[in-house]
Amino acid sequence: MFSEKSAKAGIAFPKGFKAAGVKAGIKKSGNLDLALIYTEKEAAVAGVFTKNAVAAAPVIVDREHIKNGKVHAIVANAGCANACTGEVGLKNAQEMAKLAAKELGCDPYDVLVGSTGIIGVNLPMDKMAAGIKAAAAELSTDGSVNAGNAIITTDTYSKACSCAVQIDGREVRFGAIAKGSGMIQPNMATMLCYISTDANISAPLLQKTLSDIVEVTFNMISVDGDMSTNDTVLVLANGEAGNAEIKEGTEAYKVFYNSLKEICQELSKRIAADGEGATKFLTINVHGTKTFDDAKAIGMSIAKSPLVKTAFFGEDPNWGRVICAVGYAGVDMDPDKTIIKFGNIPVYANGLGAAYDDEALRQVMENHDIVIDVEMGLGDAAATVWSCDFSYEYVKINGEYHT
């Protein structure tokens, strides 16, 4: 579904969208650090944000701006989270929108903002102003790569993907850029994710759709169990594809829903796999619970366990740490009915460790991608969680990441 060519087009792949990424001097590294995304035709908008009670100024501003249901642009920076910055921070976030609106000829309420980086530091607004002006001048359909690189922090690469589907005989495109590597824990993460589409869909239905999809994608990942102050997922739909307005319950809606879900799921996996210092990508499938929430709780309990994560870093098939995490997940379980598999090899069953081929399991543990299956034997519900290991590098990155 995702091609390398369309991924490079990313957020600017759908008709009517342009993007840019510039060096505004916010990052100490001197790398790209300010992104601008723009659609001349007004777009329906939906957003999902952090559930952290300590929300950053950009989140506060965006929650207010999306109430209108229509926007033209997103401006975002890396290098400074603009979180825990009080009234000054709130005014600065509002000023970001005003500066972009001035350059683009739209209302400030038609601009959404995002920030990521150090908490408790004020934005350098002189640099922001110059950066926004420069980004507006560089907007193009080829600007997605720079825009994606301008929002990353400890990521090893910018996450981007795009696709095209047929809806009502029209080609409908989707594009996205995202960042996320550390402080990754539902409900969402230190994550900025911006998705564009040229589909024709109303803002209320877009919001309902995004909220539903986030629950089974971005809210199913964990790198380190920490919830950020800045988490933001935004979807803009400008209708440039020319399809009839998508209505819930139709075949067109099914195609739209599945396409958006696939993009969100792909980005979720990439964020989890690119966890700070990660050497393993863990897919945790939990089956046979009474409810989805039970399955998610068990998957998250395993994903967040430092002992489980360090065991996989050390390529040690320590199933005891996994069954322990299942046991303290806080949901119904029967140890005698629970089965745990690493790479389809049973390692725990009937309340005891299972006999397994040491060499076969060693090969599983050496892989970068490892699947953990947990069968609970209590019902028909299931959930999948994505995570990674903890390495020495994770400690080094976060020990050196300070103000």
Candidate list 190, 209, 229, 283, residue with the active-site label: 190
Contacts of 349 (CB under 8 A, 6+ apart): 338, 339, 340
381 SS3 class: strand
Distance CA 118, CA 402 (A): 7
End-to-end CA distance of the chain: 41
Q: How many helices (H) and strands (E) does the chain have?
A: 12, 14
154 is catalytic: no
Amino acid at 122: N
Distance CA 266, CA 270 (A): 6
- Residue 49: name the closest of 211, 242, 260, 238 by CA: 211
Place of tokens 């000829």: 105
Helix (H) or strand (E) holding 322: helix 319-327
Distance CA 353, CA 395 (A): 31
- Residue 153: name the closest of 126, 188, 118, 124 by CA: 118
* Catalytic annotation, residues: 190
